[in-house]
Amino acid sequence: MKEAVVTLKKGEGRGIKGGSLWIFDNEIDSIMGTFKNGDIVIVHDFDGYMMGRGFINQNSKIRVRMMTRDKEQLIDRDFLYKRVKAAWEYRKDTVDTSSCRVIFGEADFLPGIVIDKYEDVLVVESLALGIDRFKETIVELLKEILAADGIKIRGVYERSDARERDKEGLPKKKGFIGEPFDTNVEIVENGVHYMVDVENGQKTGFFLDQKYNRLAMQRICKGKKVLDCFTHMGTFALNAGIAGASEVVGLDISEYAISQANANAKLNHLEDTVHFRCANVLDELPKLAAEGEKYDVVILDPPAFTKSREATKNAIKGYREINMKGLKLVKDGGYFATCSCSHFMTQELLTKTIKEAAKATHKRLRQIEFRTQSPDHPILWAADESYYLKFYIFQVVDEK
């Protein structure tokens, strides 16, 4: 069947001309030909110049997601094989691949799909209608590519249950792709063992993007008293514990997350030094300050306070407040790690907000490191949404 042709308005398409993969609804002048949502279409500039192929969805503000700029390239099995193979080869060059993100959507030029590997299990998250049609083929190809490297995948689980699917007119979907298997998977990261629940855990079961940031914290936690806020499965706390921290407390509002964290502490034989409790961090930190508690290391890994540009102003207030509360608990000369996982909270905004928090609490900050997400979550410079995690480590000095 002949592909439909999407033509851009004159002066539009600056994003994709700069390397982005998204064409928004207001950039399109006309669509000629017949198509169904999810179909591959040809994209033309206003003057008829062919810009490549992508898949269309009229339910979404992101009307077209580009798959290729090569005019001759068809979106077929061979094309998908090359994309998946390139993604895996990149991971082999850049990260520990025992557990890693193998495909990161647009940043791997496969828009709308994420695949995480937890040892011998794959977890798939599909967020766009067009890529949904290729999902099982991509999984099949990835298993084939991994098998060629001696890695046998015992099961695949789908976690396409994110709210982003609503914007695509897609129902949320969760379940096995292929034969059922035990969805509790033990992984090892930075020498720490975790039991990952790929069926019920947040996102795909675990946050792989902080892997090397957790490792960076090991260096400064030996012999220290550590507070890990928004601990989730106990990840930063357990990295502190395995590095030889003298005492670690992890806080999280989720009882399920705390039960996972406690189980992970036992799994690593750290239950004597690493302790967790269920608490609202925003309420708990002032209580600790009122009790005169001080820590050698305080770690803040909050959830995204904003998932839209419109909510950024309120998010800034939230980040300022949590950083002020955290800074008050750091001993003079101690260490403070803080981050944001929202791409709307830019590095510049986060830096300004932390600076304001330090000024308000009469603390001086000496920057040790600025870090981003692990390389298996590559930042595509033309796709701002792929750059979301910003992570600072400071030494905190009282004003004297």
**pLDDT tens, position by position, 321-343:** 999 999 999 999 999 999 999 88
Could you tell me which of 284, 155, 298 has the C-alpha nearest to residue 226? 298
Q: How far apart are alpha carbons 129 and 383 in whole angstroms?
A: 19
Helix (H) or strand (E) holding 6, with range, is strand 5-8
Three-class secondary structure of residue 144 per DSSP? helix
Q: How far apart are alpha carbons 141 and 22 in whole angstroms?
A: 25
5-68 topology per CATH: 2.30.130
Q: How far apart are alpha carbons 191 and 265 in whole angstroms?
A: 13
Catalytic residue chosen out of the listed positions 100, 229, 339, 341: 341
306 pLDDT above the threshold of 80: no
Q: How far apart are alpha carbons 75 and 53 in whole angstroms?
A: 8
Q: How much is the average pLDDT of 13-21? A: 91
**pLDDT tens, position by position, 247-301:** 999 999 999 999 999 999 999 999 999 999 999 999 999 999 999 999 999 999 9
Q: Yes or no: is domain 77-183 CATH 3.30.750.80?
A: yes
307 pLDDT above the threshold of 70: no
Three-class secondary structure of residue 355 per DSSP? helix
Q: How far apart are alpha carbons 396 and 285 in whole angstroms?
A: 17
A 10 A CB-CB count for 174 gives: 11
Could you tell me which of 179, 184, 182, 176 has the C-alpha nearest to residue 201? 184
Query: Do the Cβ atoms of 194 and 154 come closer than 8 Å?
Result: no
Show Cβ contacts of residue 357 under 8 Å, excluding neighbours closer than 6 positions. Answer: 319, 320, 323, 324, 327
Rounded alpha-carbon distances, angstroms, from residue 354 to 59, 316, 334? 39, 10, 16
Q: Which pTM does this prediction carry?
A: 0.94
Confidence of residue 198 (pLDDT cuts 50, 70, 90): very high
207-398 CATH pick, 3.50.50.60, 3.40.50.150, 3.20.20.70, 3.90.420.10: 3.40.50.150
**pLDDT tens, position by position, 340-357:** 998 888 999 999 999 999
Is the alpha carbon torsion for 125, 128, 130, 133 positive or negative?
positive
Q: How much is the average pLDDT of 97-120? A: 97
Query: Do the Cβ atoms of 130 and 143 come closer than 8 Å?
Result: no
Helices (H), 149-280: 164-167, 211-221, 235-242, 255-267
Q: Is 341 a catalytic residue?
A: yes
Buried b (16+ CB within 10 A) or exposed e, 83-109: bbeebbebbeeebebebbbbbbbbbbb
Side-chain half-sphere exposure of 16, counting CA atoms within 13 A: 27
pLDDT of residue 312: 76
Helix (H) or strand (E) holding 93, with range, is helix 77-94
The domain limits of the chain are: 5-68, 77-183, 207-398
**pLDDT tens, position by position, 30-72:** 999 999 999 999 999 999 999 999 999 999 999 999 999 998 9
For 160, list phi and psi in degrees, rounded to 5.
-90, 60
